[in-house]
């Protein structure tokens, strides 16, 4: 007998710190409106991301009609990785005039390699251009070194 395929009723996008998710907002309300148990999500997510403690992680929850769910981790946001590489607390409010830090092309390549499977690009060079564009919009200069 063929296995019945579950029907996906919702895709929920969330961002939580690795290993430190709690059922407090925004997680609890986002899951509650789909009838999911926030406690079960918190336990599964924290177990999956224990090695990335405190690092923000983007994810997509696939919610099924039987109130079960799967977690698809998307990795850290590009902006977080760029701030970490440049050693700055936040991006510039006026990126075209105020530069807050610099990153090398090697750092951009490293970030692009981490993010390439989640990005809308076909090659590593295209992913590097996307990462460099994000850096530029944050007021971070990309230098050759």
Same-domain pairing of 135 and 124:
yes
- What is the band of 30 on the pLDDT scale with cuts at 50, 70, 90? confident
- pLDDT on residue 4: 65
Tell me which of 44, 75, 106 is where a domain ends: 75
Q: What is the pLDDT of residues 128-143, one digit of tens each?
A: 999 999 999 999 999 9
The mean predicted confidence, pLDDT, of the chain is: 89
Is 137 inside any structural domain?
yes
- pLDDT on residue 118: 83
Q: What is the pLDDT of residues 98-113, one digit of tens each?
A: 999 999 999 999 999 9
**Does pLDDT of 37 surpass 60?**
yes
Torsion, Cα of 90, 20, 77, 61 (10° steps): -150
Is 121 inside any structural domain?
yes
Same-domain pairing of 25 and 60:
yes
d(CA 7, CA 29): 22
Is 32 inside any structural domain?
yes
Residues in the chain: 145
Nearest 5°: the CA angle 24, 26, 31 is: 90
- What is the band of 28 on the pLDDT scale with cuts at 50, 70, 90? confident
How is residue 100 written in tokens?
């807050």
Same-domain pairing of 92 and 127:
yes
- pLDDT on residue 83: 94
Q: What is the pLDDT of residues 71-98, one digit of tens each?
A: 999 888 999 999 999 999 998 889 888 9
Domain that holds residue 46: 8-75
Is 3 inside any structural domain?
no
Tell me which of 29, 48, 75 is where a domain ends: 75
Tell me which of 25, 46, 75 is where a domain ends: 75
Task: Compute the average pLDDT of residues 54-61.
Answer: 90
Cα atoms in the Cβ-side hemisphere of radius 13 Å centred on 5: 3
- What is the domain-level CATH number for residue 17? 3.30.1550.10
| Beta strand pairing call for 69-75 and 140-143 | unpaired
- What is the domain-level CATH number for residue 114? 1.10.10.250
User: How many domains, in total, are found in the chain?
Assistant: 2
d(CA 135, CA 107): 11
């Amino acid at each position: 007998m063929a296995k019945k395929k579950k029907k996906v009723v919702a895709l929920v996008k969330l961002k939580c710190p690795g290993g430190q998710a709690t059922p407090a907002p925004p997680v609890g309300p986002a899951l509650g409106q789909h009838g999911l148990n926030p406690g079960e999500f918190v336990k599964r997510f924290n177990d999956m991301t224990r090695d990335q403690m405190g690092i923000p992680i983007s994810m997509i929850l696939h919610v099924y009609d039987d109130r079960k769910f799967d977690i698809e981790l998307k990795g850290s946001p590009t902006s977080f990785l760029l701030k970490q590489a440049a050693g700055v607390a936040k991006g510039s409010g006026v990126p075209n005039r105020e530069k807050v830090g610099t990153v090398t092309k090697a750092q951009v390549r490293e970030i692009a390699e981490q993010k390439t499977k989640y990005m809308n690009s076909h090659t590593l060079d295209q992913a590097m251009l996307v990462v460099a564009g994000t850096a530029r919009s944050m007021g971070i200069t990309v230098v050759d070194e």
